Structure 1
């Protein structure tokens, strides 16, 4: 982290002093919601690190120097990296290419290493809580570990009032985990853009595009907020019910029904969106784009985590005798998870590869746009059908100027209806993915609390499966939400 801090400060100063260092910028890299997410999660990370520093200060007599230096260095690292990504995320560096690539890869590795450490700490904390919840005391490693921790705590005394509790950290882990993943994704795009020569106007849609300003998707907003608010209420009831095992069955069952209804609605929204894509025939943009390629790869890889945990859950439910109501709910939930992820992946990937429909509207408004260097061929291919349609209209002697205008007006109205529907779908799915990220990220382990998979696989095996697969499922929801927000702004 110290090496990366020094290099980022040097790189920002070097690119500021040397105007020839950055001659090109990738407008599709580092959109405003990615940079806003970096700041949001960075603030959460700094709050968590502050609690760690305060907790270490309370036990400073027992803390080693590295335990004090590490969170302080990490706080400086988060601040410097956030500033670096905000300033340099669009840069296509043109000098000292090998050195820049080398240090960017070191920075990427540091972020991934911190992410692995944080996921391990969070998984260990949740596993310990679940072990206490199930009253499992036959694991000698965990029992001896707890004895060592208790022994250390007995020998240490607070300098102050011990106001900072370890349990506070667990609610801030998701912010720190997502921060490092967001940073790693943006750094990878910067690494791909080193030495790349592109036109600064190569992207017609970046930032908050016209889709945000011209239409407010009330239908998607209302249904999405309903799912979001209901999910928060269900999550609170679920967490409160966990404290009372005798009355935990009702909140758990209700929580499952909420998931099933939400997943069915999300599947329907994805199907409607895919149908509209097929009806609204448009050329695909197959040009090389590191941002879009990374989005697609991350979506597909993160889906494997949810596929894995759902697959093992389905096996456990099919093998459980007798087949109870809770088994049926868990089986349906796992099956719907697989369907919803598959449909949403197809929907998002096709949306990211679709060219924006700007020629039709700009032809109607008489607006001309410069053609970028890299997308010249794709835009040329896209404009050919429109030229042919205009020539075909002009070739018929009976067609008048009014008929051509009416035909164009009908095309525009049809396009606007599809556009409004798609924006409703994008916003609805964005809010749904947001609540599906919040619940597992902040401690909802629904497949653990039912106890069905634990009884089938055993606590240790199911803990391993969950701790490996669940972090990827949580990351998938956040990344899908970011991709849907990008599609919303491009619609």
Structure 2
């Protein structure tokens, strides 16, 4: 956070000094250099960072409000540090989110660009130290969030067992014994003395219940946000000092004076690209994907309704597995057909890998066909557990679902890595857009799978076979490590497919003069 404060202080100070000639250079724009800034990622990636950052800040805000329900003076749970930690995390998340988003692919005012160059590239040692420290901080937050939430789920399971034991004892106790055991405050219950107040203190008041019920959905936001920021900041760290040359900067400075009409044309073209979305060649895939997503939401709602009843829990498990299997089969078919239709396009493998390609293969070796680490861990552990329950319906469905998941994810990741480097080789491909329908459908299917992984896969009721085989404690550890990475994989697949959908059926500027009118 100190490094971020330094960056913003430098901007404010330098901006005030340069304000005397700001009006004169207001019309001077700097063009975006894609070769120098690919490491910062796409606009879609930053939208995801904002979404996950908002979820992380909501979680921190709820924990902060949680603190004020404690009225036990001198109690360890009422320590002022328990209020400072969520506030500090909220501020760090917001400031870093703004920093990451503002280094996106946009046209900056020349003055702002110079300030950034001076602040980051002039003081290279300080910039490298600050960026790598921020990346390491995000990794630490990521690991701590996984550990705390895993231990919290284990504590909740133990609490349920204790409550059942206490209830059985209360039923057999006398009225006097019952009166002596209910003298505790209803707002706070301490279960054991440990090293983490997040685990030692359980709150039964309103905010405590809200935090407990919402944390299962909000904690993945902290994990995803920290992981994405750590990767982006690390790649930025590797590019410190990679600046635009002096001739390039000088030509940009004089562009508005020597070629105003050309800049105006480019500005109009840029505005057109920003304000409009080319849906040509993707309408059927779009609406089929929307229909699939609606069916997915209906199945999620039905799952929650059925899972709340003990007698319908088996039906809920069957419904969830069948709906997932259908989506995996359709997504696998869309991937295969899209790859077939796009096989004649131009693929450039000479370019440096973009951040989306780095993120989608994070923790994955090329020899493993770009498996997502989270999906690989989750699938393998689930299949191993299900092998001992082959005689049950849940065991067979678990094996089928996880096999389809692993096949679909590896096939899709390989296709996405190649499609990110695809471009139209003929003018007919720009007009016909072969494969775009299926890429559109695949994009929305990944969003549906992201929703399933977020709201369904993490629940203990969804993993009956795994819990019976490994135990609730061991499976809580496995799932809280692997499921967030699976959510991460689906999110970045959506981001990468968005870039494919937007850019693959256009010709690159370098190929403009070599673009054929049709295939030979």
Same fold (TM over 0.5): yes
Which residue in the other structure is 2:173 paired with? Answer: none
C-alpha distance 146-152 of structure 1, shift in aligned 2 (>3 A): closer
**2: CA distance, partners of 1:179 / 1:350:** 26
Q: Indicate which of 305, 312, 315 corresponds to 1:247.
A: 312
Q: State the Cα distance separating 1:250 from its structure 2 match.
A: 0.7
- Alignment of 1:37 onto 2:52: no
- Quickly say closer, same or farther: Cα 1:161–1:213, change in 2 above 3 A: closer
TM-score norm. by structure 1 comes to 0.74
Query: Which whole-Å CA distance do the structure 1 matches of 2:98 and 2:357 have between them?
Result: 25
Once the two structures are superposed, residues 242-269 of structure 1 have per-residue CA deviations (whole angstroms, 9 ceiling, x without a partner) of: 2222211111101110000100000011
- The structural deviation recorded for 1:452 is 1.8
Task: Tell me if the contact between 2:356 and 2:492 (Cα under 8 Å) persists in the aligned partners.
Answer: no
- Which of residues 357, 370, 378 in structure 2 aligns to 1:309? 378
Equivalent position SS for 2:400: helix
Q: 1:274 aligns with which of 339, 345, 349?
A: 339
Task: Return closer, same or farther for 1:295/1:75 CA change in 2, 3 Å cut-off.
Answer: closer
Are the structure 2 counterparts of residues 50 and 312 from structure 1 closer, same or farther at C-alpha, using a change threshold of 3 Å?
closer
Select the structure with the greater relative contact order (CA < 8 A; seq sep ≥ 6).
1
2:468 to 446, 450, 455: 455
Matched, 1:288 2:299: no
CA separation in 2, counterparts of 1:449 and 1:214?
A: 37
2:323 matched residue in structure 1: 258
Q: How many Å apart are 1:195 and its aligned residue?
A: 1.2
Q: Does 1:431 align with 2:444?
A: yes
2:499 and 2:31 mapped to 1: Cα distance? 26
In structure 2, do the counterparts of structure 1 residues 130 and 441 end up closer, same or farther at CA, with 3 Å as the change threshold? farther
Q: CA, structure 1 residues 162+47, in 2 after alignment: closer, same or farther (shift >3 Å)?
A: closer
Paired position in structure 1 for 2:215: 169
Q: What count of residue pairs does the alignment treat as equivalent?
A: 421
SS in 2 for 1:172: helix
Of residues 236, 251, 254, the one that matches 2:301 is 236
Report if the CA contact (8 A) 2:191-2:201 is conserved: no
Q: Which of these residues, 362, 377, 385, is aligned with residue 298 of structure 1?
A: 362
**Farther off after superposition, 57-66 or 331-340:** 57-66
Q: CA RMSD in A?
A: 3.8
Query: What secondary structure sits across from 1:171 in the alignment?
Result: helix
Of residues 103, 108, 124, the one that matches 2:151 is 124
User: Structure 1's 416 and 152: CA in aligned 2 closer, same or farther, altered over 3 A?
Assistant: closer
Which residue of the partner structure matches residue 408 of structure 1? none
Q: 1:15 to 1:136 in 2, by over 3 A?
A: farther
Match of 1:192 in 2: 238
| Distance in 1 separating the partners of 2:142 and 2:80 | 23
2:499 is aligned to 486
Higher mean alpha-carbon deviation, 163-172 vs 340-349, is at 163-172
Q: CA deviation at 1:4?
A: 4.0
Task: Extract unaligned runs of 5+ from structure 2.
Answer: 19-29, 106-115, 166-188, 252-268, 366-370, 505-520
Q: Quote the residue 1:474 is aligned against.
A: 487
